[in-house]
Chains A and B, each alone.
Chain A
Amino acid sequence: MSEAIFNPAPGRLAELWRPIRKILREPLGALGLFLVLLVIFGAVFADLLTGWDPTKINPRDRFQGPNPTHLMGTDQLGRDLFARVLYGGRIALFVALVSTGVSLVIGIILGLIAGYGPRWLDNLLILLFDAMKSFPTVMLALALVTLMGPSLTAVMVVIVLVTVPGYARIIRTQTIALKTSEYVTAAQSMGASSARILRLHILPNVIGPLVILASMDIPVVIGIEAGMSFLGLGVRPPTPSWGSILNDGFTNIRDTAWIAIAGGVPIIITTLGFTFLGETLRDVFDPRLKGR
Chain B
Amino acid sequence: MTTLRIDNLNVSFDTEAGAFHALKNVSFNVPENTIVGIVGESGCGKSTLINSILGLLADNGRIDSGDIEFEGQDLTRLDATAMRALRGPRISAVFQDPMGALNPVLSVGEQMRNIQYRDDRSKADKDARSVEMLEAVKIPNASEALARYPHEFSGGMKQRIAIAMALMMRPGLLIADEPTTALDATLEVVTLDLLKELQEQIGCSVLFISHHLGVIAELCDEVAVMYGGEVVERGTTQQVFHNPHHDYTRRLLECDPANQRERTRRLPTMNDEPGSFQPQPAPPAPVRSAEEKPLLTVRDAEVTFTNSSLFNKRIIRGVDGVSFDLYAGETIGLVGESGSGKTTLARATARLNAISGGSITFEGQKVHSLGPSDMRGLRRDISMMFQDPIGSLSPRMKVKDLVAEPFRIHRVSGIDLDAEISRLLTLAGLGPEFADRFPHQLSGGQARRVGVARAIALRPKLIIADEPTAGLDVSVQGGVLNLLNDLREELDLAMIFITHNLNVVRHVADRIAVMYQGKIVEMGDAEDIFGSPAHDYTKKLLSANLAGPGSH
CB within 8 Å of B: which residues of A? 1-2, 4-5, 181-183, 185-193, 196, 200-201, 204-205, 292
* In the complex, per-residue mask of B363-378: 1 if CB is within 8 Å of any chain A CB, else 0: 0000000000001100
A14 to chain B, nearest CB (A): 14
Binding site for A on B (CB under 8 A): 59, 350, 352, 375-376, 379-380, 382-384, 386-388, 391-398, 400-401, 404-406, 408-410, 454
| A189-B350, A189-B379, A191-B375 known; A4+B401 contact, CB < 8 A | yes
The answer, among A185, A192, A204, for a CB contact under 8 Å with B352, is: A185
CB distance from A46 to the nearest CB of B (A): 39
Contacts of B405 in A (CB 8 A): 187, 190, 192
Q: Is the CB of A190 within 8 A of B383?
A: yes
Bound-state Cα–Cα, A182 to B454, Å:
14
Given A4-B400, A190-B406, 8 additional A-B pairs, CB 8 A: A185-B386, A186-B454, A189-B350, A189-B352, A190-B379, A192-B405, A192-B409, A196-B409
What B residues does A1 contact at CB under 8 A? 408
Interface centre among B59, B352, B405 (most CB of A within 10 A): B405
Let me know if A188 and B375 touch, CB within 8 A: no
Chain B residues lying within 8 Å of A201, measured Cβ to Cβ, are 394
Complex contact B396–A186 (CB within 8 A) = no
- Once the chains bind, are A191 and B409 in contact (CB under 8 Å)? yes
CB distance from B398 to the nearest CB of A (A): 8
- Interface of chain A, helix or strand or loop or mixed? helix
Cβ of B409 and Cβ of A181 under 8 Å apart? Answer: no
B406 touches A182 (CB 8 A): no
The docked-state distance in angstroms from the alpha carbon of A1 to that of B413 is 11
A191 with B379: in contact, given A182-B387, A185-B352 (CB under 8 Å)?
yes
A sample of 23 inter-chain contacts (CB < 8 A) reads A1-B408, A4-B404, A5-B397, A5-B398, A182-B388, A183-B391, A183-B393, A183-B394, A185-B352, A185-B392, A186-B392, A189-B382, A189-B384, A190-B405, A190-B454, A191-B376, A191-B379, A191-B409, A191-B410, A196-B409, A200-B397, A201-B394, A292-B59
Residue of B nearest to A188 (CB): B352
**Closest beta carbon of chain A to B471's beta carbon, Å:** 13
A182 adjacent to B386 (CB under 8 Å): yes
Docked Cα-Cα span, A165 to B94, in Å, equals 43
Most buried by B among A4, A190, A196: A190
Cα–Cα distance between A109 and B408 once the two chains are bound (Å): 24
CA distance A271 to B352 in the complex (A): 48
The answer to whether B375 and A205 touch across the interface, beta carbons within 8 angstroms, is no
Q: Once the chains bind, are A200 and B350 in contact (CB under 8 Å)?
A: no
Q: Which 8 A-B pairs have the closest CB atoms?
A: A191-B379, A182-B392, A204-B396, A189-B384, A182-B386, A183-B394, A182-B391, A186-B392
Q: Is the CB of B392 within 8 A of A190?
A: no
Q: Within the complex, which residue of B384, B395, B408, B410 is in contact with A186, where a contact is CB–CB below 8 Å?
A: B384
Residues of B contacting A190 in the complex (Cβ-Cβ under 8 angstroms): 379, 383, 405-406, 409, 454
Partner of A2, one of B380, B391, B393, B408: B408
For the complex formed, measure the closest distance between the CB of A195 and the CB atoms of chain B, giving whole angstroms: 12
- Contact A183 B395, beta carbon cutoff 8 Å: yes
Cα-based distance from A2 to B410 in the complex (angstroms): 13
| Least distance between A29 CB and chain B CB atoms (Å) | 19
Considering the complex, give the chain A residue whose CB is closest to the CB of B464: A189
Distance A201 CA – B400 CA, assembled complex (angstroms):
15
Most B CB contacts (10 A, CB to CB) among A2, A5, A182, A204 go to A182
Chain B residues with Cβ below 8 Å from A185 are: 352, 384, 386, 392
Instruction: For the complex, give the distance between the alpha carbons of A186 and B397 in Å.
Output: 14
Determine whether the beta carbon of B350 is less than 8 Å from that of A181.
Answer: no
Chain A proximity of B374: nearest CB distance (Å):
11
Residues of chain B within 8 A of A204, CB atoms compared: 396
Q: Which residues of A contact B388 (CB under 8 A)?
A: 182
Query: Is B376 a contact partner of A205 (Cβ separation < 8 A)?
Result: no
Separation in Å of the B91 CB from the closest CB of chain A?
A: 24
**Residues in B neighbouring A182, C-beta threshold 8 A:** 386-388, 391-392
In the bound complex, residues from chain A placing their C-beta under 8 Å from that of B398 are 5
CA distance A200 to B393 in the complex (A): 12
Which residue in A5, A181, A191, A205 is a CB contact (below 8 Å) of B401? Answer: A5
Residues of A close to B376: CB separation below 8 A:
191
